[in-house]
Amino acid sequence: MWMTSNSRGSRRAGLVLACLFAAGCPGPQVSAVAPDSPAPATPAGPRPGTVDSSAYAGTLEITSVRVRRPTPELERLAGPDFVKTAQEPLAIEVQTQKPLPTDARNTSAILLWNGERFTDTWSVRPNRLVAFLPDRSKIKDVNSVAAAWIGNEEASRSRTPLTFRAADIGK
């Protein structure tokens, strides 16, 4: 029950008005919704499904570690620049106790080698973590190896770090 003189809408408005009269125009109608009632909550539609985060829970335990020259598969992960420039390329490979997450997120598992964080650790499903060393300079006779979720290292660091002996390289 409105009309407007806006030129772009006037013809359509006239039609609407004509239809209302043809149908027997009722008197002023009050809204079924009280004018002083709150706006509806934002129509969010169905909430999106929640992503399963259980694989990121708790500490990140590891079961084995080995250090060796990268295989062709590992060289692809390390990248051509590393392969070209590394003096004595080595890959650190660690097996995790539980399978790694199956979704790609921003947080990721990292290796802690003698406490140093390797932020560019690769996660190779189902349960392998891989980091690369260009030479032996960071390898001591006896080395501590652990893993953690980046950004939450203190709470997620392996409760039982592993030990790796330099003498075991390549084994």
Partner 1 sequence: MTDAGGRPITALEAGSSLEVGALHLRPNTTYEFRLGVGQDAVTSRAAAVGFARSTSDREGNIPPFVLWYQSGVVGCSLRKERTAESPFTFRSFDEAERALAGRTLTVSVHAVERDPTGRISPMKLATGEPESIIRFPVAPRRNPAVFASNADGCLLNSQLTGEDALYVTGRNFGRGDVLEIAVVPNQRSWTVGDAIVDVTGERAQPAPKRVVVPDSGQFTVKVWDRAAQQRGTYDIIAHRVAGEKDLRVVAARDIISYLRETGFVFYLRYPVGGPTMDIAGRPLGGSPYFEFADSFADTGDPVWGAVDPTYVPAGHPGGSYAAYYVVNHKSVAQWAASNALSDVSGGIEIHPVKAGCVNGTDVIIWNAPMPVGQYDVVVDFGSVPAATAAAYATDAQYNDSVDFLDGADQIGFIVASDPYALGSQPIGQDSYSSDDFFATLGSRANVDLRAVVRYPATAAGTGTPVAPGAHPIFIIEHGNHTSCNTAGFDGNSSYDAVHTGCPSRKQNHLGYMGLLDRLASHGIIAVSIDAYDLTGFVPQLIAERSDLILKHLELWSHMNATATFTTYPDFFSGRFAGHVDMTRISVSGHSRGGEASVGAYMRNLARAVPFSINSVSSIAPVDGQSYVLPGVPYFVILPAADGDVCGLNGQRIYDRAGTALPTPDATTKSGIDVYGASHNFFNTIWAADGDDGAAGRDDYIPAADQQRLGEAFVAAFVRIQLNNEAVYEDMLRGKLRFPSFAGRKIYPIRHETQHSKLESGSGALAVGSGTASVASVSSPSVHQTQAIRVGWTASGAVTYTVPAGQRDASSFEVLSFRVAQTNAASNPASGDQDFMIELVGGGHTKATFASRFGAIPRPYHHISNCTPPNQNVMTTIRVPLHSFIMNNSGVTLDNIDTLRFTFSNPSQGEIYVDDIEFSR
Nearest to 144 by CA among 100, 112, 105: 112
Residues 6+ away with beta carbon under 8 Å from 103: 51, 52
Query: Quick check: 125 binds partner 1 (CB under 8 A)?
Result: yes
Query: Quick check: 137 binds partner 1 (CB under 8 A)?
Result: no
Q: How far apart are CB 142 and partner 1 at their closest, in Å? A: 26
* The only residue of 97, 117, 134, 162 in contact with partner 1, by rule CB under 8 A: 117
| Per-residue x/- track, 10-49, partner 1 (CB under 8 A) | -----------------xxxxx-xxxxxxxxxx-x--xxx
Query: Quick check: 87 binds partner 1 (CB under 8 A)?
Result: no
Nearest to 90 by CA among 171, 15, 9: 171
Site for partner 1 in 61-80 (CB under 8 A): 73, 76-80
Long-range own/partner contacts, residues 124-127 (CB < 8 A, 24 or more apart): 124/77, 124/100, 125/99, 125/100, 126/99, 126/100, 127/95, 127/96, 127/97, 127/98, 127/99, 127/100
Site for partner 1 in 90-109 (CB under 8 A): 102-108
Spatial distance between the Cα atoms of 87 and 42, rounded to a whole number of angstroms: 59
Spatial distance between the Cα atoms of 103 and 85, rounded to a whole number of angstroms: 32
Query: Residue 11 has which token pair?
Result: 């013809």
Residue 24 or 27 with smaller CB distance to partner 1: 27
Q: How far apart are CB 167 and partner 1 at their closest, in Å? A: 28
Query: Quick check: 121 binds partner 1 (CB under 8 A)?
Result: yes
Query: Residue 97 has which token pair?
Result: 């106790």
Residue 141 or 154 with smaller CB distance to partner 1: 154
Q: Which residues bind partner 1 (CB under 8 A)?
A: 1-6, 8, 27-31, 33-42, 44, 47-51, 53-54, 56-58, 73, 76-82, 102-108, 110, 117, 119-125, 150-152, 155-156
